[in-house]
């Protein structure tokens, strides 16, 4: 059995421990260090210029109409954040264009993310299952539970890795 001392650590030991903690924090991946959540901005394609990044240039296809709002949200690719209210790192707001359009989503860092795009067709800023469309990075299917309630795909199915520059992807809208 090992004896545990209740004597306070020496000043040197406390400084060494603090230094190791700082080195560990600096070496930790950005995702582990935390993000600022809930930021939003209007669509700015200039953020996806050749000299910019990290960012994602998304071609959104299959938009049924030009009415309402389009929201593209980037989430850290974790179960704790995925599709949780206000747990996105950026929301880009845009005016939808029937057919297809381009949206630029600037990211806070390189790393693993998942994107959800919502077409709020009637512009009420609420999710209306019968009229709104949705799509996600990697285009996983959106299933219905018992044929009624949509179930979002797991974060693993929508996860992608963004590098230092501009990542390009196409997201196909799905309407139920």
Q: Would you place residue 176 in the very low, low, confident or very high pLDDT band (cuts 50, 70, 90)?
A: confident
For residue 148, what pLDDT is reported? 63
For residue 155, what pLDDT is reported? 97
User: Cα–Cα distance between 145 and 103 in angstroms, integer?
Assistant: 30
Residue 143 has pLDDT above 60, yes or no: yes
| Matching residue, tokens 């850290």 | 76
Q: What are the φ/ψ torsions at residue 73 (nearest 5 degrees)?
A: -115, 130
For residue 147, what pLDDT is reported? 61
For residue 58, what pLDDT is reported? 98
User: Cα–Cα distance between 10 and 26 in angstroms, integer?
Assistant: 25
The CA dihedral of 89, 90, 96, 98, to the nearest 10 degrees, is -50
The residue ranking higher by pLDDT, 61 or 15, is 61
Question: How many CB atoms are closer than 10 A to CB 79?
Answer: 10
Q: Would you place residue 28 in the very low, low, confident or very high pLDDT band (cuts 50, 70, 90)?
A: very low
User: Cα–Cα distance between 53 and 67 in angstroms, integer?
Assistant: 30
Q: Residue range 58-83: average pLDDT? A: 97
Residue 4 has pLDDT above 60, yes or no: no
Contacts of 138 (CB under 8 A, 6+ apart): 157, 158, 159, 160
Least reliable range by pLDDT among 3-7, 97-101, 154-158: 3-7
Burial of residue 45, with CB atoms counted within 10 A of its CB: 0-12 exposed, 13-18 middle, 19 or more buried: exposed
Mean pLDDT of the chain, nearest integer: 84
Q: What percent of the chain has pLDDT over 90?
A: 69
């Amino acid at each position: 059995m090992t004896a545990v001392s209740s004597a306070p650590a020496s000043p040197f030991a406390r400084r060494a421990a603090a230094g190791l903690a700082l080195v560990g924090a600096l070496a930790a991946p950005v995702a582990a260090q935390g993000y600022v959540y809930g930021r939003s901005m209007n669509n700015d394609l200039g953020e996806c210029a050749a000299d910019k990044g990290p960012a994602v240039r998304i071609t959104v296809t299959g938009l049924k109409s030009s009415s309402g709002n389009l929201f593209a949200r980037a989430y850290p690719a974790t179960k704790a954040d995925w599709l949780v209210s206000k747990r996105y790192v950026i929301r880009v707001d845009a005016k939808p264009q029937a057919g297809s359009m381009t949206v630029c989503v600037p990211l806070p860092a390189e790393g693993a993310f998942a994107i959800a795009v919502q077409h709020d067709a009637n512009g009420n800023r609420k999710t209306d299952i019968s009229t709104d469309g949705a799509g996600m990075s990697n285009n996983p299917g959106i299933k219905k539970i018992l044929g009624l309630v949509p179930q979002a795909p797991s974060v693993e199915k929508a996860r992608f890795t963004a590098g230092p520059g501009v990542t390009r992807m196409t997201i196909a809208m799905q309407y139920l």
